[in-house]
């Protein structure tokens, strides 16, 4: 079954939605210029209210090892997601420093970009269409056969996620942020439809709202 990550959690009301609908992962964004930025102390409070079984992911971009380690410790983060220009050497050092699994994000502009992700030293890779989660869709058929676990991201929403799954060579997980929002916060019905459609993918089951 394809797993689901809901990113950009900022409010306690959104934690309530997550606890009821139970995605596999939720993301806290620690990138200051991103509109979903959250301070580690606030993320810690929200993380403490999260149901067991939902893993927390911290999103970073070109942050120092010390800064990432501090956020991971304060907010009790389970996995680290890197959205910047982090090198293999940085990933190795961060893994040693934090003892957390690491996911590296790759922008896909052509088939060669997906191939590069094959050789990443990160534990997981995410294929995205834009920069730092700007919600840009790319041609999912460019992925081809990626022989490692990958997260699919970039402009996903409840209405296009089935098509993305059909064209993208069965990702390990899908990632959504603003695609399940209404008035800039996570919307219960949109999150429910997204998760239901992903988890019913093999049977092509969809949910109407």
Give the active site residues.
Answer: 7, 128
CA distance 132 to 153: 11
CA distance 4 to 86: 24
Tally of CB atoms within 10 A around 163: 11
| Residues forming a β-bridge with 148 | none
Q: Comparing C-alpha atoms, which of 20, 19, 68 is closest to residue 47?
A: 19
How many degrees, rounded to 5, is the angle at CA 187 between CA 186 and CA 191?
Answer: 90
């Amino acid at each position: 079954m394809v797993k689901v990550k809901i990113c950009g959690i900022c409010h306690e009301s959104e934690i309530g939605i997550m606890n009821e609908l139970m995605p596999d992962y939720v993301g806290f964004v620690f990138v200051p210029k991103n509109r979903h930025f959250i301070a580690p102390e606030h993320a810690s409070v929200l993380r403490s209210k999260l149901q067991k079984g939902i893993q927390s992911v911290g999103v970073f971009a070109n942050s120092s090892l010390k800064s990432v380690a501090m956020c991971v410790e304060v907010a009790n983060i389970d996995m680290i997601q890197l959205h910047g220009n982090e090198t293999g050497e940085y990933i190795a050092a961060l893994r040693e420093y934090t003892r957390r699994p690491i996911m590296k994000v790759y922008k896909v502009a052509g088939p060669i970009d997906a191939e590069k992700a094959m050789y990443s030293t990160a534990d997981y890779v995410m294929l995205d269409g834009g920069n730092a989660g700007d919600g840009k869709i790319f041609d999912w058929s460019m992925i081809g056969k990626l022989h490692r676990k990958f997260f699919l991201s970039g402009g996903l929403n409840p209405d296009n996620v089935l098509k993305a799954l059909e064209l993208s060579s069965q990702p390990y997980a899908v990632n959504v942020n603003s695609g399940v929002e209404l008035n800039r916060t996570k919307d219960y019905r949109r999150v429910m439809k997204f998760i239901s459609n992903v988890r019913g993918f093999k049977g092509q089951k969809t949910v109407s709202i």
